[in-house]
Amino acid sequence: MFSGLVKGLGRITARTDLGKDQRFVIELDTAAIGPLCVGGSIAVNGVCLTAVAVAADCFTADVSAETLAVTTLGDLTAGASVNLEPPLRAGDPLDGHIVTGHVDGVGSVAAIEAAGRSTRLAIDVPPPLSRYIAAKGSVAVDGVSLTVNAVRGARFEVNIIPHTQAVTVIGEYRPGRAVNIEVDMIARYLERLISAAGESGIDLKMLKDHGYARND
């Protein structure tokens, strides 16, 4: 479990084929990330990976064919910068929002424009994901917890402050760049609860008939 507050940038130094899977070696800033352990989790551009080897200045993670296919990790080459976030520990502040590291889909940067000292990003997402994104709600873009400013169809806008641009890969974005999208898990659970309620016959009329909703 993560919060979407990136702790530092890493850099891919090697990719090795393992059948259809890949093994990544990622350089890190140990002062920003802290100690990692074999078997521990770390979010790489918003994708939860497991460290299979750890050194003082880098770690190694295996990336499955499925993950390569449904995230942007398959497009990354040696030398690419990546967002890194270690998992939350009990007692850590939840300054962003709850992020699982399970990417829902890949979006595309549609537009970038200045907004004072900040930058406004417009991002297109696959249409099936758009219903989970709401104005003033949360979304993770390459693992970065962001607040949605506006939603228009399958496009949403976020504002990026200078600090976020400086410490994440968002500072490298250009129109057309593919990005990992994870929607707020609360939206998914709400959809499932509403769906299950409909299957069980619970609707507004039934709630009114039993005194759980008003008629006005």
Helix (H, G, I), strand (E, B) or coil at 1: coil
> Do 214 and 156 share a structural domain?
no
Look at residue 120 and tell me whether its pLDDT is greater than 80: yes
Query: Residues 44-99: pLDDT tens digits?
Result: 999 999 999 999 889 999 999 999 999 999 999 999 999 999 998 887 877 888 89
CA 125 to chain centre: 13
Helix (H, G, I), strand (E, B) or coil at 43: strand
Query: Residues 164-191: pLDDT tens digits?
Result: 999 999 999 999 999 999 999 888 877 7
The closest alpha carbon to 97, from 48, 165, 166, 143, belongs to 143
Q: Please write down the HEC assignment for all residues of 23-69.
A: EEEEECCHHHHCCCCCCCEEEECCEEEEEEEECCCEEEEEECHHHHH
Query: Residues 22-35: pLDDT tens digits?
Result: 999 999 876 578 77
> Do 57 and 12 share a structural domain?
yes
This prediction has a pTM of 0.88
> Do 209 and 140 share a structural domain?
no
Check which CATH number belongs to the domain holding 136 and give it: 2.40.30.20
Q: What is the mean pLDDT of residues 189-205?
A: 68
> Do 65 and 20 share a structural domain?
yes
- Which one-letter DSSP state was computed for residue 104? -
> Do 203 and 154 share a structural domain?
no
Identify whether 98 is part of a domain. no
Please give the residue range of the domain that contains residue 114.
Answer: 109-183
The closest alpha carbon to 26, from 18, 16, 147, 118, belongs to 16
Residue 208 backbone dihedrals phi, psi, to 5 degrees: -65, -45
> Do 209 and 158 share a structural domain?
no
Distance, in Å, from the CA atom of 117 to the CA atom of 105, rounded to the nearest integer, reads 30
pLDDT score of 202: 62
Region of poorest pLDDT, from 89-98, 117-126, 140-149 = 89-98
Tokens (6 digits) for 182: 């994870």
Identify whether 91 is part of a domain. no
> Do 74 and 44 share a structural domain?
yes
pLDDT score of 11: 95
pLDDT score of 201: 62
Distance, in Å, from the CA atom of 49 to the CA atom of 63, rounded to the nearest integer, reads 7
> Do 80 and 24 share a structural domain?
yes
Residue at which a domain ends, from 52, 85, 118: 85
Q: How many domains does the chain have?
A: 3
Percent of the chain predicted with pLDDT > 90: 73
Identify whether 63 is part of a domain. yes
CA 142, 144, 145: angle at the middle one, nearest 5?
135
